[in-house]
Amino acid sequence: MTVLLLPGDGIGPEVVAAGASVLEALVARHGLQITLEQGLIGGAALDRSQRPLPAETLAQAKRAQAILLGAVGGPAWDRVDASLRPEKGLLELRAGLGLFANLRPATLHPELGGVSPLKPEVVEGLDILIVRELCGDVYYGEPRGIRVLDGGERQGYNTMVYREGEIRRIARVAFDVARRRRRRVCSIDKANVLEATRLWREVVQAVGQDFPDVELTHMYVDNAAMQLVRQPTAFDVMLTPNMFGDILSDLAAAVTGSIGMLPSASLNQGACGLYEPIHGSAPDIAGRDLANPLATILSVAMMLRHSLGAQALAERVEQAVTRVLQGGLRTRDIHAPGTTEVGTRAMAEAVLREL
């Protein structure tokens, strides 16, 4: 099997190097049979080939069984045309591979309870899985653009669009994973205002009838944001449209204490998946050995579980991360009194030692 590494921009190369070192260790010592390739995406690709997603990178991705992505974008490319922004490369990759299901776990490691901005009793036992639809909504809807109105004033516009089939397939993913968890799905929408999410609620309700063993509830997105802060442990699986999921998953990350701890998986109808930390490129700390590589390493664990058929190795990686945290090592974003601050490379090396 082939795993494609897409380091991207900012801290992307640093954290992908950490993830790659874990994969290499599993190949060398634990029987994982994969070949690693590397490609360009985002600003790094734009600088080299004038495209944020070169045709060769997309071809590599289509041949691969799994992809490990760092991050894309940064101020260096803020002035380029909108059609060429680094983030456009990621959107094109998701569309090109049909990656419609984004799984974003928000789990609070017991060792990091003091890092959360919320009271320990509010976040104790936090374990949420956000299932975000990834190929629809305003990110892909047409028409879109900026136009000049009579009188010279400019107007920006985007279109929120969902087809029944798109909603149905992501809803089935949410119900399927809920069956392996605590059997509760909370579907997020704004059905009192937006017709697209009124359809969302109707279709999710219909799909839920095929899963009578899973409890389905609905919640408006603004209330969901409030409840994520007030009582986050009340959620099990949160099913969201694209834009709402983008926002709520970052809020859930803040509840856990650090966005540097949260992995993600983006899956299509087959076995191919794109795995990445949910954080951005963080150009302010790029190249300074400050980034937390654990979200990327935990993304590798998700890759092993969902695309490479290596459940036991996924658990081994997750256990290694837990033991490192139990040992008191912390990167700057999760550092607390009584723990030892280390850099990106040292944290990755500690995980390798545990492996």
**pTM for the whole thing?**
0.91
Q: Are 127 and 346 in contact (CB under 8 A)?
A: no
Pairwise CA distance, residues 82 & 70, whole Å: 21
Which listed residue (88, 246, 275, 333) is catalytic?
A: 246
246 is catalytic: yes
Pairwise CA distance, residues 84 & 32, whole Å: 37
pLDDT in tens, the chain (355 residues): 999 999 999 999 999 999 999 999 999 999 999 999 999 999 999 999 999 999 999 999 999 999 999 999 999 999 999 889 999 999 999 999 999 999 999 999 888 878 888 998 999 999 999 999 999 999 999 999 999 999 999 999 999 999 999 999 999 999 999 999 999 999 999 999 999 999 999 999 999 999 999 999 999 999 999 999 999 999 999 999 999 999 999 899 889 888 889 999 999 998 789 999 999 999 999 999 999 999 999 999 999 999 999 999 999 999 999 999 999 999 999 998 899 999 999 999 999 999 9
From the number of C-beta atoms within 10 Å of its C-beta (0-12, 13-18, 19+), residue 146 rates as: exposed
Last residue in a domain, options 189, 223, 256: 256
Q: How much is the pLDDT for 111?
A: 87
Q: How much is the pLDDT for 318?
A: 96
> Which residue segment(s) compose the domain that 350 sits in?
1-101+262-355
At 187, which CATH number? Answer: 3.40.718.10
* 94 and 121 belong to one structural domain: no
222 is catalytic: yes
Is residue 106 included in any domain, yes or no? no
190 is catalytic: yes
Q: How much is the pLDDT for 20?
A: 98
Last residue in a domain, options 236, 256, 276: 256
Q: How much is the pLDDT for 281?
A: 96
Q: How much is the pLDDT for 336?
A: 86
Which listed residue (88, 139, 140, 333) is catalytic?
A: 139
Split into its structural domains, the chain has a count of 2
Is residue 166 included in any domain, yes or no? yes
Which listed residue (47, 127, 176, 250) is catalytic?
A: 250
The strand pairing partners of 96, in sequence order, are none
* 229 and 267 belong to one structural domain: no
* 210 and 158 belong to one structural domain: yes
Which listed residue (190, 236, 275, 333) is catalytic?
A: 190
* 249 and 266 belong to one structural domain: no
Last residue in a domain, options 239, 256, 273: 256
Is residue 44 included in any domain, yes or no? yes
* 246 and 267 belong to one structural domain: no
* 127 and 241 belong to one structural domain: yes
Q: Are 240 and 133 in contact (CB under 8 A)?
A: yes
